[in-house]
Structure 1
């Protein structure tokens, strides 16, 4: 069983059309999906002690996701986002911009780094306020993956992240195939070994700097696309980590084996992400929004169902 860890953001996604909130956030989702896939997973984040933070912590414990190095800040508001669905596609309607995490970003200490070195893969994202911690992880041992989402357009971010990342994920639904390969080449030049570009229902593309890959989607009648990209990234990384661990690290240096591992990772990612689109919320476990949160939510969006 491989060990993977998500570091960065955690939220509850508050569905304003139903009044239900679901645990989420890119780094949290990575840990949650990896656990669903049978990996041993952990999460390092910053939590408030409000109902949102308490709910995320409760779910981490229920799912057996280690949170021994996470931070809890009494009196602070946890991150949350307001969401609605339109024909199964999630549409964000505002957020508190990370809440406590923006105020108290994660600074990795020596004991954190020793802990992280025991994992096969670590994942961060553009919403984690953790970019400046990436140099501490380089050479530590685990594969380092990072989800740019749509913020690969920010050249400053690309310059500070790519030199320290093994696998970069980018959301590219508006790009042509030629533009995607150009983006992959650019990220390779900046330091990434593998670039994976997702395009929702149009599938995904990947590059290892020498070879191009295309993955067709496993099309389903989606109930909720929340978490589709995060689940794709999680399943890809778990599959790659499992294959490299089983076959030995030297296998990655062999061209044909590397190609086979990437193809397997893409196929498993497409399969898993399609299943996530058949559940509500990023990974389920929704509860009614606590009454004491309504005024705060209405400061961000004017409508929430009771």
Structure 2
């Protein structure tokens, strides 16, 4: 099967590059993770399913035999499990399929990772918390409010049950190099900003920490590298950017950056606006000091860098403005 098989110099060939298997490599975070590891000299094997493309492997992660064949053939040193059904409304409508991917496939991957002694890194979410008493630390008790959050929490538990040496990395709402603005809950606000003919209510109560997927990818690589040297690197970790904004504030920033009117955007500052699909206020920022992990060296997710993502996206689609 073809994958991200990148050659190096003759000298580099003397020392085999470490191998990383990235599930969900077609998604926003998965693409960033593949690029980060590749740029750091790893041999990257990226998998996808419905959106699989050239240089990626097509693999149904709910097919146990297919997963076993994949791991047997490529023998990864590290598995970064990004694949998930992350849209809460879709999880509510198609619960069985979502649970198969978010829970059962995760459980199977964790078992196989333990069996082949690969370091397993499971990407989780702030939705495992209810948002009532932020900020949350890694030792705080989860209390998910919707099916998506419950499925990811169960995925965490299956990961650590079957692969005790694994890491669970919880992250908040992400943005990055999108293929469409709807791919991120941050950049999707563009659709509301540009629709100036109708008023639009936006939450101005819940503080979010929009985080660049490239930063998360760097954290994944650094955790993998440290964990391969130090088996005590295991358990649950949190990471997010520092800048906090409400959805309304993000939308206003987008409108100002593109010189678009914003009087159709209406802030809602009452908790009555929240429902079971609410995006929770979770501060996940942590320095991971005990593993000497300094995020100063990570590409900074600040100064509203999601605006740069939108600028780049709009330049590639001149008719979008």
Q: TM-score, normalised by structure 1?
A: 0.43
Give the structure with the larger strand fraction: 1
- Of structures 1 and 2, the one with the larger relative CO (CA 8 A, separation 6+) is 1
Q: TM-score, normalised by structure 2?
A: 0.41
